[in-house]
Structures are given as C-alpha cells and as structure tokens.
Amino acid sequence: MTAVAEKTTGEPPARKGRWIDHWEPEDPAFWERTGKRIAWKNLAFSVFAEHLGFNVWILNSMIVAFLGDVGFNFSIGQTFWLLILPNLVGSTLRIPYTFAIPRFGGRAWTTISASLLAIPCVMLIFAVSNAPTATSAGTPYWFFLLTAAALGFGGGNFSSSMTNISFFFPEGKKGLALGLNAAGGNIGVAVTQLLVPIVISLGTGINLAYAGIMWLPVIVISGLCSWFFMDSLTSAKPDGESYGVALRNNQTWVMAFLYIGTFGSFIGFSFAFPTLIKETFVDFKGFVALAFLGALIGSISRPFGGWLADKIGGAKITMWNFIAQAVFTVSVLVAVDIDSFALFFMSFIALFVLTGIGNGSTYRMIPMIFAAQTRAKVFKDGGDLELALKAAKRQAGAVLGIVGACGAFGGVLINLSFKFSLESTGTLTAGLAVIAAYFVACTAVTWWCYLRKSFAIQRAPSLAYADV
C-alpha cells in the first residue's frame, strides 16, 4: 500500500503480516483520521491477552490455599516456594519477551505468548489430579515446583504487551493507555482469585483440576483474536542499542527500584494474601475467598494513578503514595500484633489501592524522564530534537521491559520476606517491618532524584524533573 493509498483509504501503509510501516501518532490529523481507531483496537486485544496471562500466572495463589484440603500437606517453606517460583520465572522472562516484539511483531508475539499458557494449565491439571492415597504418594513435590515455574509464562506477557502498546499512542494519551493496558492485565489476578474457589467447588468436594481446565478454551480464543485482529508496528523496536543505552542510564535503575515498591508489592501481596489469611488468622480462613478484592481494587486504581500523573506529575504522586504505603504496612503489622483480622484485612485493601496508584504513576514517569533528558541534551548541545525524541521513545520502550522485569522480581522479595519471617519467628512482624522500611527508602529516593528543585534544574534545564 502506498502513501497515496493512505490518503484515499485512511489506512496507514502496511506490508505482509499486518505490519504497519507508517505510524505518526503525534500528528493530530493522522491520529484522528486513522491512528486512534487502530491504536484502541490493538489495545483492546492486548488487554485480553495480558489479562489471560495474569489469570494463569496467579493460579498458584489460590491452589496452594486448598492443597491441604485434597491431601497434599506441604510445609510453610514448601508452600511459599510454590508462590515464589512463578514470580521468579515471570520476572526473568520479561526481558526476552520484550525483545520478542521487534523480532516477531506485536501481533505474532501476542499470539505465541498467549498460546504458551496452555502448557502450565495442562501441567497443573495433572499435578492436582494425583492426590496422595493410602497406596500412592501422589504427585511428587518436584513436579509441583516445575508446574509453578511454568506458570511464570503468564508473568512475561506484561512487558511485551506494555512495550508494544506504548508505541501506538501519542505522548499525551500514553498515560491513560498504559494504565488501562496494565489494569486490564492486573485485574486478571482478581478474576482468578474470585472464580477459582467457585469453580473448584462445582460438583462433589473440591476438584482443583478445574482451575486449569477453565482457562484452556479462553487461551484458544485469545490466540485466535490476537492473530486475526492485531497489528505490528515497524517502529516498535526497543532494539539492542536502545537496551544498551537504557542499561547505562542511572534513571533506569532508579525507576526499577521504585517499581519494585509498587508493582512488586502488588504482585507479591496478590500471591501471598490468601495464604497469609489462612496461616495468620486460622479462625478466618473462610475469608480466603474474599482475597480477590485486594487485587481487584489494586487493578482498578492503576489507571487512576496514570491519570493523576498526567495531571499533577508522576513524581509527586509516587512520593506521597510511598508514604501512605509505609503507613498502612505498619497498620498491618499492628493488626497482626493485636490479632485484629478486621484491621488486617482493611489495611491490606488500602495497600492494594496504593500499589495500583503507584503502578500507574511510576510507569507514566518513564517516557517523561527520557523525553526530559533528551530535551535537556538538545538544549545544551544542539541537534535535531524530533530525531532525538524518536530515539528516546525506543530507549523508553527498552526501559519498560527492564523496569517491568525488576518490578515482578519484587514479588519474589515480598514472598521471601514473608517466608523467612513465618519460618523463623512464626509471625509476619519481621517481614512487614522490612517491607515498610523499603517503602520509606522509596519515598526518599523519589524526592532526592525528582523533586529537589536544585537537582532537577541542574539535570534538565529545559524541563525540570519536578515536572516528571
């Protein structure tokens, strides 16, 4: 399709495989004529696939809470390893998943990554269908560990999806788009935690295999939708050079540190919350079925964080959000100390809200930081600002992958904190104290790097980081 064809049909030029070569979302005429429709279509199917990824990734959060009811008796340490491994594998896969976008294109890779989710679902069905009996030891623990690792496939989808979608939207609408994309994925945690207790209870007794079976037809539908309706952008290439620049940029690691405190907390708390209820408040273990409320509220609040960042500034929202996270973590600690389930549950709900807002605000800061750095460099040394900003977009795409991986790894740290705290002291006090201290450190880092006026003006004279 030629440039003339674009003017007559309203479609951007494309090549075989639904690749779009010409994409200018910053051009108002292009955006209104055709860009907006294509961008929102791809966002819709991206949300569907990413949502499914989270559905599968979080499965063990509910499975481990019911393993004892069907005859699998694992220790606290063994239980938490089944929660830690999906986090660990999911965070590790986020880097190669981001690199897959330029290699395969957003359309093809979304199809592939969605289809791969069938593997852990089948493994889970087998694992929980062989419970211990008087004559059989049942599925060995090592296979549960392998299944937990395979569930991590779902965690990799986030970075590739966010990187891909970031190229479809103009800067002024990117905060909302990324927030919706991430929230649509994050809410998959709540959907799984809501539906699994219901589905596994259908019929007689508890059938954990249903937790894997229920997602298989959805995986097929998601793969087909991605293949037939999504597009790939030639410009969506956070290439190796961009990654090299991003890895050498101190701001990449500052944002990774902060994202551990937001998304790492969200996914870490989501994995642990049902087990924490069951282990810490035995008399209230029936409330495990309500654990989905935390992830649901945290997911819904994520776009709000992106919107606030667009209106007020990501750094300001992020700093005050970390202060509130520290306060409510201490509130959870107090609840455990005085044995108040009501305070424990409500404090965790507040934490989920805050992690959602922080997820939106920190992710929105990334492209703004790189744009600010680029403008400052051109302001000082000269050069073509338009070309420099395009390079900054590619670097920001690479940073999204790095930061997303580090944030997911935060879920590992959260669950390790709870594991060692429960194993060594029998309570959550030590683990919660460490987490609260991390939030305080995140508050200080945010202020130091982005809100000190003298520092901001020195580093970016044409656009202070205080506006990030």
**Mean pLDDT, range 428-446, rounded to an integer:** 95
Residues 6+ apart with CB under 8 A from 345: 277, 287, 290
pLDDT of residue 145: 97
What is the chain's alpha carbon radius of gyration, rounded to the nearest angstrom? Answer: 22
Q: Can you give the residue ranges of every domain in the chain?
A: 13-467
pLDDT top residue among 268 and 8: 268
pLDDT of residue 418: 95
pLDDT of residue 133: 79
pLDDT of residue 78: 95
pLDDT of residue 15: 53
Instruction: Count CA within 13 A, CB hemisphere, residue 179.
Output: 28
Tell me the C-alpha to C-alpha distance, in Å, between residue 434 and each of 259, 337, 346, 445: 17, 16, 20, 17
Tell me the C-alpha to C-alpha distance, in Å, between residue 462 and each of 310, 372, 457: 19, 8, 8
Q: Taking the mean position of all CA atoms in its chain, how far away is CA 79? A: 23
Domain at 13-467: CATH code: 1.20.1250.20
Residues 6+ apart with CB under 8 A from 319: 443, 446, 447, 450, 451
71: alpha, beta or left, given left = phi > 0 and alpha = psi -120 to 50? left
Binned at pLDDT 50, 70 and 90, residue 1 comes out as: very low
Residue type (1 letter), 449? C
Q: pLDDT tens for residues 133-175?
A: 777 888 999 999 999 999 999 998 888 888 788 889 887 787 7
Q: pLDDT tens for residues 223-268?
A: 999 999 999 988 776 556 777 777 888 888 999 999 999 999 999 9
18: alpha, beta or left, given left = phi > 0 and alpha = psi -120 to 50? left
Average pLDDT in the chain: 86
Cα–Cα dist 222/47, whole Å: 10
Q: Pairing relation of β-strands 232-233 and 14-15?
A: unpaired
Which residues face 14 on adjacent strands?
A: 20
Cα–Cα dist 432/40, whole Å: 40
Cα–Cα dist 36/226, whole Å: 18
DSSP output for 77-112: HHHHHHHHHHHHHHHHHHHHHHHHHHHH-HHHHHHH
Binned at pLDDT 50, 70 and 90, residue 404 comes out as: confident
Please say whether the beta carbons of 328 and 350 come within 8 A: yes
Residues 6+ apart with CB under 8 A from 144: 72, 74, 82, 127
The answer, yes or no, to whether residue 466 has pLDDT greater than 80, is no
Q: What's phi and psi for 14, nearest 5 deg?
A: -140, 160
The answer, yes or no, to whether residue 10 has pLDDT greater than 70, is no
Residue 205 DSSP one-character state? S
pLDDT of residue 3: 41
Residues 6+ apart with CB under 8 A from 263: 355, 358, 359, 362, 404, 407, 408, 410
Structure token pair of residue 343: 């305070």
Q: What's phi and psi for 427, nearest 5 deg?
A: -135, 175
Please say whether the beta carbons of 94 and 401 come within 8 A: yes
296-310, 416-430, 446-460 — which one is most confidently predicted on average? Answer: 416-430
pLDDT of residue 463: 41
Please say whether the beta carbons of 407 and 155 come within 8 A: no
Please name which of 124, 164, 85 lies closest in space to residue 409, comparing C-alpha atoms.
85
Please name which of 132, 66, 72, 50 lies closest in space to residue 291, comparing C-alpha atoms.
66
pLDDT of residue 4: 41
pLDDT of residue 134: 73
pLDDT of residue 13: 54
Tell me the C-alpha to C-alpha distance, in Å, between residue 87 and each of 92, 133, 149, 234: 9, 31, 8, 31
Cα–Cα dist 159/147, whole Å: 22
pLDDT of residue 2: 39
Cα–Cα dist 131/320, whole Å: 48
Structure token pair of residue 211: 């937790």
The answer, yes or no, to whether residue 285 has pLDDT greater than 90, is no
pLDDT of residue 159: 80
CB count, 10 Å around CB of 156? 27
pLDDT of residue 218: 97
* Helix, strand, coil shares, percent, the chain, to 5: 80, 0, 20
